[in-house]
């Protein structure tokens, strides 16, 4: 199986849709709602921290409704709500609106570091995630071509976290709460969609044409 993985123009991204596998569009959209609500309430209330915090929490809770209607496991939504609650508590008790975004800054820094370590030690997170979703588990680790492809594609995820850390750090240091809220929203949905598209292209472009694809790791012994 060689040319079957490519379209007429030799584009390897036709083999799979990484966005469809990861559900990135929905997750990114849901993650954008609380910061947008915070920004809208912050501007409408002329910088009233409590109002902005309350509305961000209401918006976070509202993201549960579509998940429940669609009968999806709302684990990611619940985690997002807990993160929003923690961020709101830090901002409220510190009395500084910019600290609403401190958790996001720190979590992105931790994520960047964790993804980098996973790549270096040969357990790239993208491979673990995709392998779990498509049922290949960790067999791809014994396939040099797939291991290399997942490592290369995972660097795109590191880049997205680094971009957020740099932008959030500068704005937090300058105490630019309004711009923090704007960039928090701007660097959620658009950046995740771009990251998934770019990493998907890198992943499939890194797999040799003669390889049957991510669903068929070439290993000597199956798990």
Q: Using one digit for the tens of pLDDT, what is the confidence trace for 131-177?
A: 988 889 999 999 999 999 999 999 999 999 999 999 999 999 999 98
Under 8 Å between Cβ of 37 and 184: no
Q: What is the mean pLDDT of residues 73-80?
A: 69
Q: How many residues does the chain have?
A: 223
Q: Where are the beta strands (DSSP E) in the chain?
A: none
H helix or E strand, kind and range, residue 34: helix 24-44
> What pLDDT band is residue 123 in, cutting at 50, 70 and 90?
very high
Per-residue pLDDT at 193: 85
Query: Residue 140 corresponds to which tokens in the numbers above?
Result: 């791809």
- C-alpha dihedral sign at 89, 90, 96, 100: negative
Helix (H) or strand (E) holding 173: helix 144-173
Short-list 79, 114, 86, CA closest to 101: 86
pLDDT at 223: 47
**Closest C-alpha among 93, 98, 90, 108 to residue 174:** 98
Q: Taking all residues of the chain, what is their mean pLDDT, rounded to a whole number?
A: 82
Percentage of residues in the chain having pLDDT higher than 90: 38
For 122, list phi and psi in degrees, rounded to 5: 85, 20
The answer, as to whether pTM is greater than 0.85, is no
Question: 146-176: b or e for each residue (b if 16 or more CB lie within 10 Å)?
Answer: bbebbbbbbbbbbbbbbbbbebbeebbeeee
Question: What gap in Å lies between CA 166 and CA 80, rounded to an integer?
Answer: 22
Q: What is the DSSP letter of 97?
A: G
202, two tokens: 């890198």
CA distance 151 to 202: 10
- Report how far residue 81's alpha carbon sits from residue 73's, in angstroms, rounded to the nearest whole number: 14
Cα separation, 220 vs 72, whole angstroms: 37
Comparing 23-37, 95-109, 113-127, 151-165, the range with the smallest average pLDDT is 23-37
């Amino acid at each position: 199986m060689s040319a079957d993985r490519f379209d007429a123009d030799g584009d390897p991204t036709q083999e799979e849709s990484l966005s469809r596998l990861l559900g990135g569009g929905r997750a990114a959209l849901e993650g954008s709602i609380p910061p947008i609500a915070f920004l809208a309430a912050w501007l409408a209330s002329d910088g009233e921290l409590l109002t902005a915090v309350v509305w961000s929490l209401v918006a976070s809770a509202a993201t549960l409704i579509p998940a429940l209607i669609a009968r999806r496991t709302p684990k990611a939504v619940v985690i997002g709500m807990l993160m929003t609650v923690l961020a709101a508590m830090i901002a409220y008790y510190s009395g500084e609106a910019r600290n609403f975004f401190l958790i996001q800054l720190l979590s992105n820094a931790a994520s960047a570091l964790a993804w980098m370590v996973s790549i270096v030690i040969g357990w790239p997170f993208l491979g673990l995630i995709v392998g779990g979703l498509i049922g290949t588990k960790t067999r791809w680790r014994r396939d040099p071509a797939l291991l290399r492809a997942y490592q290369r594609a995972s660097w795109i995820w590191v880049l997205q976290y680094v971009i957020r850390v740099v932008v959030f750090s500068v704005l937090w240091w300058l105490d630019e709460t309004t711009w923090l809220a704007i960039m928090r929203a701007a660097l959620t949905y658009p950046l995740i969609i771009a990251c998934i598209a770019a990493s998907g292209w890198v992943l499939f472009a890194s797999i040799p044409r003669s390889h049957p694809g991510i669903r068929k790791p070439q290993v000597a012994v199956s798990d």
